[in-house]
Structure 1
């Protein structure tokens, strides 16, 4: 038996259009109903958008692996994210995506280099210094700490800069605004709200938030872009500056690099921060799992800095993280679009119609998982069908930074669990919301107690 972390109770039946409009403006999770968790394929109809939600693993494989070219990324998703991500690998399709992926690939080979590992470890070490200054037994809002440390990791590994507190707050506040307003903008588009009214209701906030983030990144990138021939850094930005296209021998333009770095910042810090916060939450509820993870860490490395070999040896802690990813996948849905008419089970998918593959629903489907809402790290001791467990996506578009994120997460968790025991604040319940990522809208309040003898 595992513990059962909180998840939003779905509505008994499907809400009407007006109710859906107000529910989903805050979080798409608020619009789910009981059948959402049991169906294989469902249809969602709104005035300006009609989509299929696909939970059947066989159909998921068709969409994301076998017939991936027939299901490109959603044009609406690209439109929504463009103020921040521009024309980046996250939303592009076809030959543009292939070329971008190939140009980015060498950068992520850096994740196997000790230099990047060391930069991650330094960010984790600074995080621990911040935690040690907090009195033992204090209630800590860990979500903001996880958001800051993962953003710091990205700044160090991509641009060889520490993230200072003031700049960090500006960027992270802007990103929170961007997330909130993107969901609202999407719902307004689904319900055909006129563009002039959408601007009055907050559309400009989303665009301005994207500008704040990109201008901060541009300040760091531009001097190095202009002097790239003399750039001696060993970071991901340096790799991007020197990478050239195999066919044209051309390098990324400044705007292209800015778009890709913005994408790496979004995907690299936000998703990992979400996953780390939910992992700490699950461990604060499951004392046995927490103790088992702690014992493993101590047996591998009782003190001093963790090595790459240490991190790879932490099998149980890795399974803990994987199980938190199952319960709270950072990206709760993947949006695609049909290039032609086709059948999905008993439904006819029209050309141009939206398709959603939702890890949030697939990971909690009771036909695919025993006690799906329970936290059970042991599930991951045996191989799991890829179409049933896809926190990083699936197929050729699987997250390019998966190895980077796993390495970073285990470093951060190992540092925290070695020194602190975790207890959820009494009577605290996270407010689970689905926006661009799955987060807790009211943070995560955990009592952190210094372990004896450490």
Structure 2
């Protein structure tokens, strides 16, 4: 139940009812969030039919478990639209693969990004946060700044000293343009057309995709044959027969995947976190008090991140309210039944963290900003299978530990040094395409403390 002291951060206005027909298709193509009325936060599941296709949205933990964990064989593949939307950038990378190829590459990524290795990346996080703190003053689009800074952190983890800030900024701009050009609906699929006819709707996006892949190729070439870091390990990985696991094209695919997946989540969460702190003074003051007591104004050591439970809780609550990945989609491999609904082979089943994280049956005061709900001593734990900021099941983000440590470091370095406030007239609105970003960026006033 929402109380009079709760802070309710802005969210898009909900329609009175689900749009239908072409209005629903238009809304889906421009912003998924515009589809859902207030009742959607209470529904357990929502089947949608559009021309020749149907989509089933599951919005209840047991159904999420059924699709993404116990039914992983039946729902292993990403949806056709998700594949079409990302293949121009990341090709056949682990993020889109399934079957034996996915198992092999997932094992490699799990080794490279194992939580035990996260402290080794800590100096890169501190370096990036301190560079950002020195560069920000006045009116700043923090969304663009975080995107470039987190991309640079991943580049440094991949290529070491060969990573260049100008390449990271270019990558961030290119992916922003790419995401803005990708339609959120596969119209060819909706109208029952073959997959090969989908390309027309991605024409502009493919131009930006080519720019991203050229940049990845240039970074690989600039790194040289003796580069260490994660890329050196990727290139040295061997298959069971002793041959290289990844050929040159597959190396570019995996590098593009790491750069985008490794920077997008962190950048979006950091953007929404500083926005929430700029809006809510009591939380901001509590975070600053914790950082001051533990760190005394200096950058954290890797071992000190666990001593910042409230700062971490603020980040976790930001991911609940503004989940960086707005939807998880799977394609049914064969006929299945979910809670009485028949799913045909090839149909799409989705979970939308935007809805699940605000489900009125799972969360108290679901639209309120309450970081305390994620503290270790909170009386009620987040619902299992009801909180999916890094996906869930076998495809849970391999870099989740990397991302959480990075976000904590950025907050610990930036907040004591910079004050963030909302410029007059600024009203950021979340828009769900491939990720959940503020439409038009996130302009904030940044003032050194």
Q: How far apart, in 2, do the equivalents of 1:188 and 1:328 lie?
A: 30
8 Å CA contact 2:291, 2:297 repeated in 1: no
Whether 2:78 is the aligned partner of 1:77: answer no
Could you tell me which runs of 5 or more consecutive residues in structure 2 were left unpaired when the two chains were aligned: none
Question: Which stretch of the first structure deviates more once superposed, 15-24 or 2-11?
Answer: 15-24
Residue 102 of structure 1 and its aligned partner are, at CA, apart by 1.0
Residue 317 of structure 2 contacts residue 374 of structure 2 at CA under 8 Å; is this kept in 1? yes
Which position in structure 1 is the counterpart of 2:149?
Answer: 149
Contact map agreement 1:51 1:354 (CA 8 A) in 2: yes
Provide the C-alpha distance between the structure 2 equivalents of 1:372 and 1:110, rounded to a whole number of angstroms.
30
Counterpart secondary structure, 1:386: coil
Find the counterpart in structure 1 of residue 285 from structure 2: 291
Q: Which residue of structure 2 lines up, in the alignment, with residue 341 of structure 1?
A: 335
Displacement of 1:162? 3.7
Q: Which runs of 5+ in 1 are unaligned?
A: none
Return closer, same or farther for 1:390/1:185 CA change in 2, 3 Å cut-off.
closer
CA distance 1:240–1:361, change in 2 (3 Å) = same
> RMSD of the alignment, in Å?
2.2
CA distance in 2, matches of 1:43, 1:321: 32
Q: Which residue is 1:356 aligned to? A: 350
Q: Which residue number in structure 1 is paired with residue 36 of structure 2?
A: 32
Aligned to 1:126: 131
Q: Is the 8 A contact 2:25 2:185 kept in 1?
A: no
TM-score by length of 1: 0.91
Aligned pair 1:205/2:204, yes or no? yes
Q: Secondary structure at the match of 2:107?
A: helix
How many Å separate the matches in 2 of 1:115 and 1:364? 35
| Residues 1:61 and 2:65 are matched in the alignment | yes
CA contact (8 A) 2:118 2:405 kept: no
Which of the residues 220, 230, 238 maps onto 2:232?
A: 238
Contact in 2 for aligned 1:425/1:447 (Cα 8 Å):
yes
The change in CA–CA distance for 1:111 and 1:440 in structure 2 (over 3 A counts) is: farther
Aligned match of 1:18 in 12, 18, 22? 22
Which whole-Å deviations, capped at 9, do the CAs of 1:106-142 have from their partners, x for residues lacking one?
21138725442112211111111102xx2xxx33321
**2:30 alignment partner, SS class:** coil
Displacement of 1:33 after TM fit?
Answer: 2.4
* Distance (whole Å) between structure 2 residues aligned to residue 91 and residue 422 of structure 1: 37
The answer on 1:215 being equivalent to 2:214 is yes
Q: After the TM superposition, which of the residue ranges 350-359 and 167-176 deviates more from structure 2? A: 167-176
**1:155 to 1:111, Cα distance in 2 relative to 1, 3 A:** farther
Give 1:221 deviation, angstroms.
1.4
Deviations 1:405-435 (A, max 9, x none): 0011011111111112322223421121001
d(CA) in 2 for partners of 1:81, 1:246: 29
Please give the per-residue CA displacement for 1:57-85, whole angstroms capped at 9, x wherever unaligned: 11111111112111122233222211101
Worse-superposed segment, 382-391 or 328-337: 382-391
Mapping of residues 47-196 of structure 1, within 5 Å: 47-72=51-76, 73-109=78-114, 112=117, 114-131=119-136, 134=137, 138-160=138-160, 161-165=162-166, 167-184=167-184, 186-187=186-187, 189-191=189-191
* Residue 387 to residue 118, structure 1, CA distance change in 2 (3 Å): same
1:337-396 deviation digits (Å, cap 9, x = unpaired): 112222211311112211001111000111111110111000012432331111111111
